[in-house]
Chains A and B, each alone.
Chain A
Amino acid sequence: MFFKYVLRSLLICIPFLAQAQMENMAVIEKGSYVPLYGRDSVKVKIDRFALDVYPVTNADFKKFLKEYPEWQKDKVKALFADGNYLRHWDANGSLKKGESLKAPVTNVSYFAAKKYCECQDKRLPTLDEWEYVAMADETTADARVKDSYNEFILSWYEKPNSFNQEVGSTFKNYWNIYDMHGLVWEWTSDFNSVMISGESRRDVDQDNNLFCGSAAIGSSDLMNYAAFMRYAFRGSIKANYGVRNLGFRCAKTINNQTKQNDEDL
């Protein structure tokens, strides 16, 4: 009898836990799109998944550093972060003057971002997932054809120091996600699938991928110069880099199994 009672109370707390995890995440419905550069302009399928509504903030990251001190500025392994890591924090692990706790955390390496998400039982979004969500404006899932949408993004690219604004200060898009454009650029789990560094022109096989003349003209979405810039940026960074305007947010796979469990409950 008592056993049953315990089990019942367990049942109550599980959905709560699951919900706590999904807090501040929005569900992105499945779909497909033709990325700027992909498999010969073939549509990429995106499964249903969840994405953080806001980029990870300095405050969030501070909490993480407390729990996982091995990622603190003075303790992090050189393999995982270059000298720019948390450059806007002081040696005692607090933010430097003029930096906002509510601003997106930047100067974080790929490894640190990845670890952060794993420790929330999440993961970094894939490049395709990120771009899929990023093509939405306030009202449409794919706003890439709208001039106003592209102009907004490009005008942000010209604006300096947008990284120190608070999260949520740009628009909420079709998927209820904030700040995909306007604050910082973001790490993706497979950012190193873009081939445009030195080796792409020289010695990658199939090397007319993105920047070589024919590929540039052939890229599948000529309107999307903004996306083109993002791909170029991703191709130019390495996993241990800390960059002042590069942050991240986490994603979560919603697999059918969990869904079934939820339904059973």
Chain B
Amino acid sequence: MKIYKYFLLALLVINLWSCKDETKKEVAETEESKAETNKEEEELPGLSIYNLPTKWTTQDGKEIELKDLKGDVLVMVMIYTSCQASCPRLVADMRNIHKKVSDKANKETKYVFVSIDPEVDTPERLKAFAKENQMESNEYLFLRGTKEDTREFAAVLAVSYKSISPMDFSHSNIISVFDKQGVMKYQKEGLGEDDSETIKTIQELAN
């Protein structure tokens, strides 16, 4: 019992310093693998969302980092699956965009749905949601993160949301398009509006 307590204490101490340690480790790592990664890191633009070190779980239960998506054009939207009001329309908007973008461009594009309700939206639930909405092809990705990371990610997208009842959120309806380096190139606010500019941007970025 006592030993257990000491163990906890030790953990606590480690925790206290973890923030610092991480940086040190990072430094060590970068130095070690300077040859390979340095070039890559340097090339990453300052405005790239891949500067954000967040981890997510996909609808297939796979753990990914944001930067794993590098190299594809991203079309991103924040939703929650139990949403009755605007989400179905947002989802429809995404589907329409996907339909109108050429097959060739779609090969280099990912349509990403980030859940603002990570407690409810488990990978299973996201998977079911994808199926319901006929979004099972490779281009569609559904992500769930921690509450904190989700809040931060929303801040990056300038999306606001708030829980307004145990089941519902109010949230901004914004579709964002990122280039292959993760830099935001276009945002469209609103539902069911003219999506020609969104499509044009994706088409240009994918080529």
Which residues on A are within 8 Å of B, measured CB to CB? 7, 10-11, 14, 17, 21, 39-40, 67-68, 77-80, 110-111, 114, 118-119, 121, 189-190, 192-195, 197-200, 202-207, 209, 235, 238-239, 261, 264
Interface hits, B149-183 → A, CB 8 Å = 151-152, 154-156, 158-165, 168, 170-174
Q: Nearest A residue to B164 by beta-carbon distance?
A: A39
Looking at chain B's contact residues, is the secondary structure mostly helix, strand, loop, or mixed? mixed
Decide: A192 and B161 in contact? CB cutoff 8 A: yes
Q: Is the CB of A39 within 8 A of B20?
A: no
- Indicate if the CB atoms of A11 and B9 lie closer than 8 Å: yes
B189 near A206 (CB under 8 angstroms)? no
Nearest CB of chain B from residue A45's CB, rounded to whole Å: 13
The reply to whether B5 and A79 contact each other, CB–CB distance below 8 Å, is: no
Q: Quick check: is B52 within 8 A (CB to CB) of the other chain?
A: yes
In the complex where A21-B16, A261-B8 touch, is A205 in contact with B162 (Cβ < 8 A)? no
Residues of B120-162 contacting chain A, CB below 8 A: 148, 151-152, 154-156, 158-162
**Chain A CB within 10 Å, residue with most, of B13, B160, B161, B189:** B160
In the docked arrangement, what's the CA distance between A202 and B87, Å?
Answer: 15
Closest chain A residue, CB of each to CB of B158: A238
Q: Which A-chain residue is minimally distant from B162 (CB atoms)?
A: A193
Q: Which of B9, B12, B156, B162 has the most CB of A within 10 A?
A: B162
Which B residues are within 8 Å of any A CB, using their own CB? 5-6, 8-10, 12-13, 15-16, 19-20, 23, 45-49, 51-52, 83, 85-87, 148, 151-152, 154-156, 158-165, 168, 170-174, 189-191
B9 to chain A, nearest CB (A): 6
Query: Using Cβ atoms and an 8 Å threshold, which residues of chain B touch A68?
Result: 23
A192's closest neighbor in chain B, by CB? B160
Complex CA–CA separation, A260 to B15 (angstroms): 17
| Beta-carbon contact of A199 and B160 below 8 Å | yes
Nearest residue in B to A257 (C-beta to C-beta)?
B8
Decide: A205 near B171, CB < 8 A? Known: A114-B152, A239-B155.
Answer: yes
Expressed in whole angstroms, the minimum distance between the Cβ of A115 and any Cβ of chain B is: 9
Interface pair A203/B9, CB less than 8 Å apart: no
Contact A193 B85 (CB under 8 A): no
- Give the residues in chain A near B23, CB-CB below 8 Å: 68
Instruction: Please name the residue on chain A nearest to B161 by beta carbon.
Output: A193
Q: List 24 A-B contacts (CB under 8 A).
A: A10-B6, A14-B13, A17-B13, A17-B16, A39-B163, A40-B164, A118-B19, A119-B20, A121-B15, A121-B19, A189-B151, A190-B151, A192-B158, A194-B160, A195-B170, A199-B174, A199-B190, A202-B189, A204-B160, A205-B86, A205-B171, A206-B85, A238-B158, A261-B5
Say which residue of B19, B83, B156, B162 sits within 8 Å of A194 (CB atoms).
B162
**Nearest CB of chain A from residue B90's CB, rounded to whole Å:** 9
Q: Which residues of B contact A235 (CB under 8 A)?
A: 160
Alpha-carbon distance between A141 and B177 when the two chains are bound, in angstroms: 46
Among A67, A77, A205, max chain B CB count under 10 A is at A205
How many angstroms between the C-alpha atoms of A11 and B12 in the bound complex?
12
B49 near A205 (CB under 8 angstroms)? no
Residue of A nearest to B191 (CB): A203
User: Shortest distance in angstroms between B55's beta carbon and chain A's nearest beta carbon?
Assistant: 15
Task: Tell me the nearest residue of chain B to A195, going by C-beta.
Answer: B160
- Report the Cα distance A205→B45, complex, angstroms: 34
Residue pair A206, B164 in contact (C-beta under 8 Å): yes
Q: Is the CB of B156 within 8 A of A202?
A: no
Closest to A234 in B: B160
Using A14-B13, A193-B161, A195-B162 as known contacts, say yes or no to A78 and B189 having CB atoms under 8 A apart.
Answer: no
Closest-CB distance, B165 to chain A (whole angstroms): 6
Kindly state the separation between the CA atoms of A194 and B168 in the bound complex, as whole angstroms. 15
A198 and B189 in contact, given A190-B151, A204-B173 (Cβ under 8 angstroms): yes
A115 closest partner in B (C-beta): B19
Whether A202 pairs with B86 at a CB distance below 8 angstroms is no
Q: Nearest chain-A residue to B19 (Cβ)? A: A119
In the complex formed, the residue of B with least CB distance to A20 is: B16
> Which B residue's beta carbon lies closest to that of A191?
B155
Residue numbers in A under 8 Å from B189 (CB-CB): 198-199, 202-203
Tell me which residues across on chain B come within 8 A of A193, comparing CB atoms.
160-162
